[in-house]
Each structure stands twice: as C-alpha cells, then as structure tokens.
Chain A
Amino acid sequence: MPTDTVPEAPRARAPEKVRFEGVTKRFGDHTVLDGLDLTVAPGERVTLIGPSGSGKTTILRLLMTLERVTDGVVHLDGEPFSHMPAGPGGKLVPADERHLGPRRRRIGMVFQQFNLFPHMSVLANVVEAPRHVLGLDADEAAARARELLALVGLAGKADAHPTRLSGGQQQRVAIARALAMRPDLLLLDEVTSALDPELVAEVLDVLRDVADGTDITLLCVTHEMGFARDVSDRLLMFDRGRVLEAGTPDELLDAPEHERTRSFLRSLR
C-alpha cells in the first residue's frame, strides 16, 4: 500500500506516536480540555467517543495545529511538536512555522465537511500538496493521485469538478487527498457526520481498506460504533474534557463501567 512507507523523511520509530502532556485548551472562559494526558503508540488505532462538546474534535485540531494549546505540550514521534526548545537551557516555547512545517507533513486529516478546493478538479485536489509541498514532479504526483483515486473507487472522476460529486464521493476524494501526502498519522474528524445515511457505508468501506492494508496510525472521532469496533485497538470515552474510561472496543462497548458511558451509548441507538 502506498501509505505504508515514508521515503521522504526516514526516522527512528519512537515508542510513542503522539503524546498529550497535561494539555489544556480554553476558548475564552470555556475549558474544552482540562490537563489531558494521552499516548498513542505507532500503528495504533484509537477512536474517541463521547457527547458533542466533550473535546474530541479539539484533540484532532490541536494535533493538526489548527488550534494552539492553552497549556501543556503535544509531542509527536517522541519530540515536542506544539512547542520547541529555545535558548541555552532548551526551555520549551510555542513552536513557530519553521518547527511546525516539516512535522505537520507527517499528519493527514479528513474533515467533517470535506473541505475540497472548489477551484480545482478532483485530480488537482489530490495532486496539489504532493506537487507543491513535497516537490514531486507533475507526472509523479499525478500517478500517485490516480493510484489513490482508484483505491477509493473514483478513478473515473479524476477530471470532474468536486461540487458535481455526491457527498460520499467528495469525502472519498478528501481521503485520497490526505493519503497522497503519505502521512503516518491520519486524523478522521466525524468524516461521515455530514453525509446522507445511504452514503456512509461507501466512505467507511474505503477507510476499513486503508486501516487493513497499512500500518498507519489512526485517530478517529466518530459516532459510527460498528466502524469503531472494526478498526480500533482502543476506545476512549470522553466527557467534559477528560477521559472518562478507556478499553478495547469489546470492553467499552459491551461492558462499560460508567453510567455516563452507558447512557451515551444508548443515545446512539
């Protein structure tokens, strides 16, 4: 599978892929994450569940550097990511673009609202970043893009305009676009929530293929418990900015310890 190897930047496998260390995120007076500690191992598939507003999406957005932490440090591949050492003492200060840029390329993200670029064809959407961020030449980038479009079942739509596609097709393009950067960590932010019910399966099938065929690290936020059970090594139940309980899918879904987890799971049926 194309996402398996990362030829651009070989590096030693750290024992941890992601580590949140005492991360707090506040928007004004509202505390979304409260001193969160969380470690994800390389190749691990972790799904975050919990009521909306419990901080799950914020975790993904902090990792993608779309938000900045209020307090604490986010580590990636065993080194500080949200922060960087500065000065003689190596004191950690908020990271600048030069620190973030190369590290961010190891992370891919698929959004709830797809966020395809409306001024580009499907193919151009997938080609854009490999060509202009990784510096691939046009043929190589296009070949990689066509391969991925075939993987998501949209080989015939390369020249179509994104807005002409169904929601499910748009989301599959967005998955191909994220994979084209060959990330070793993929963030899935409620990727089926904006879809009509009959289009959910086609997107989840593609993601199952990706999960089965690669050793990419996955961090998902989803309300699709069937999908969560199939792909996850570990489920984390979030409540009010904290991890309420954690366990394998079978443990958490079939025998939850907390009443709040039980009532949340009931609410999904």
Chain B
Amino acid sequence: MTDSGTTAFLPALGRALPAIGEGLLVTLEATALGAALALLVAFALGLAARSRSRTVRGAVRVTVEFLRGTSLYVQLFWLFFALPMLGFRLEPMACGVLALGLNYGAYGAEVVRGAVAAVPAAQTEAAVALGMGPGLRLRRIVLPQAYVLMLPPFKNLLVQLLKSTPLLSLVTVADLTFRIDQLRSATGGTAAAYLLLLLVYFGVAVLLGAAMNALERRAKARLGVTGGSA
C-alpha cells in the first residue's frame, strides 16, 4: 500500500460507488436466495429425518452427510466447472445459490430435526387427546414451538452463509468482493479496499443478526415467559 495508491483511492472510490452498490445488491441477492433455498431444504430433510420409515431416515442421513461432507467450496466449483462437462451449464449465480442452499440446507436440517425433537412429547399427547391428526399437530402445535428453538441456530447459519458469498466472485459472479477487487486493481489502494470490504460485510452481518434477534424476541414474547410451561 503505497502513498500514491492511497491518495488515488478516495476519488476512485467515489467513482466506483455505483458499481460497488450493484455488487452489494448481488451479494444480498445471493444471500437471500441461498437462504430461501436452504430453508426449504432444511425443512424438507429435517422433517423427513423424523419419518417412521427406516429407509426414509437412512436416505436423509446419507443426503445430509453428503451435502455437509463434500465442502461448500468444492460443491460450487463442481457445479461451475465439472457439471458443464456432463452437458448441464448453469448461470454462475445459479451455481452459487444452489451450492449455498444445498450446503446450508443440510446444516439447517439438523436444526429443524433437533428443534422438533425438543418440543415435549406431552404437547403432542395433548393434541392427540383433542383429536388432532398428525398434520394438524405438526402445523399448529409442534412447529410453532419448535420455531423459537430454531431461530438462534438459524441466525448463526445465516451469518455463515453471508460470509460464504465471496466464494461466488471466484466463479465470475459480480458480487461485492468482485467489484471491490476491481477497484483495488484499478487504484493500487489495496489495503484500503480490503478494509472497506470487511467493514461492509461486518455491517451487513450486524444488520442480519439484529433482524434475527428481533424475530426471536417476538417469537419468545408470543410464547409468554421464556421456556414456557410443561
């Protein structure tokens, strides 16, 4: 980081602001779409993991371990570089969203499974005694209570997912990291560019965390005092 690089940085930053803003939007888009897909995968796998059928449970176990065990980095590169060799070419952004959604969905599945299992069995029994069928019990009694338990781990996963999005710049997605890297090579203000990049990610992470905390407070308020009755 030379002086000339630093002095040239600020004016260049001003000129690059619109591009950086676009990059930020792309990062937010990837985070939102990735999280939405992850949520879908998490509920599908997490609920199937409580199936009565051993075959279903086994299939879920293998899927989850496969998605978690093969490394997000490798999954993304596989989708981007290897999949086209099998004749399927996905847009870079689609590769990114798919990899993020599947990988974090597998982690989320454990969260969903654990939270549902943590709702006391007595709650299900009370619902049975009221004549409620399995679907109704899950929807009206178990999931609303499990939801509160899911929020803190989901917050962690969401921030982790956001922190994984710079990966997308490696497969030509023009996200925040990609844009600021362009600014860096144009100005030579290397350290300043990366510091700025870290600060923006930090800001977004703090905002996401605060939003999730607000959701958690609201959910807890609906449950009355923390913990709830037996």
Task: Tell whether A119 pairs with B128 under 8 Å between CB atoms, given A111-B122, A128-B140, A132-B140.
Answer: no
Question: How many A-B contacts are there with CB distance less than 8 Å?
Answer: 78
Q: List the B side residues contacting A117 at CB < 8 Å.
A: 123, 126, 141, 145
Residue A115 at the chain B interface, CB threshold 8 Å = yes
Task: Tell whether A163 pairs with B228 under 8 Å between CB atoms, given A107-B129, A118-B145, A181-B131.
Answer: yes
Residue A161 at the chain B interface, CB threshold 8 Å = yes
B215-230: which residues lie under 8 A (CB-CB) from chain A? 222-225, 228-230
- Inter-chain CA distance A133–B123, complex, in Å, is 16
- Inter-chain CA distance A263–B43, complex, in Å, is 54
- Inter-chain CA distance A104–B129, complex, in Å, is 7
In the complex, are the beta carbons of B133 and A97 less than 8 A apart?
yes
Minimum Cβ distance to chain B for residue A97 (Å): 7
- Inter-chain CA distance A121–B182, complex, in Å, is 56
Interface centre among B130, B132, B225, B230 (most CB of A within 10 A): B130
A159-174: which residues lie under 8 A (CB-CB) from chain B? 161-164, 170
Q: Which of A109, A114, A119 touches B230 (beta carbons < 8 Å)? A: A114
In the complex, are the beta carbons of A104 and B128 less than 8 A apart?
yes
Task: Tell whether A129 pairs with B145 under 8 Å between CB atoms, given A115-B125, A117-B123, A163-B229.
Answer: no
Residue in chain A with minimal CB distance to B120: A115
Q: List the A side residues contacting B225 at CB < 8 Å.
A: 161, 163-164
Interface string of B131-170 (1 = CB under 8 A from A): 1111010001100110000000000000000000000000
Q: List the B side residues contacting A161 at CB < 8 Å.
A: 224-225
- Inter-chain CA distance A108–B130, complex, in Å, is 7
Task: Tell whether A108 pairs with B129 under 8 Å between CB atoms, given A113-B122, A119-B222, A164-B224.
Answer: yes
Residue A1 at the chain B interface, CB threshold 8 Å = no
Interface centre among B128, B132, B145, B229 (most CB of A within 10 A): B229
Residue A116 at the chain B interface, CB threshold 8 Å = yes
Minimum Cβ distance to chain B for residue A106 (Å): 9
Residue in chain B with minimal CB distance to A108: B129
Q: List the A side residues contacting B123 at CB < 8 Å.
A: 115, 117
In the complex, are the beta carbons of A181 and B128 less than 8 A apart?
no
In the complex, are the beta carbons of A114 and B229 less than 8 A apart?
yes
Task: Tell whether A109 pairs with B223 under 8 Å between CB atoms, given A117-B141, A118-B229, A132-B136.
Answer: no
Residue in chain A with minimal CB distance to B225: A163
Q: Which of A109, A113, A119 touches B144 (beta carbons < 8 Å)? A: A119
- Inter-chain CA distance A93–B75, complex, in Å, is 49
A12-64: which residues lie under 8 A (CB-CB) from chain B? 64
Residue A101 at the chain B interface, CB threshold 8 Å = yes
Residue A68 at the chain B interface, CB threshold 8 Å = no
- Inter-chain CA distance A107–B229, complex, in Å, is 24
Smallest CB-CB A-B distances: 10 pairs: A118-B228, A129-B130, A115-B126, A109-B129, A161-B224, A105-B131, A163-B224, A113-B230, A133-B131, A115-B122
Q: What is the interface of chain B, defined by CB distance below 8 A to chain A?
A: 122-123, 125-126, 128-134, 136, 140-141, 144-145, 222-225, 228-230
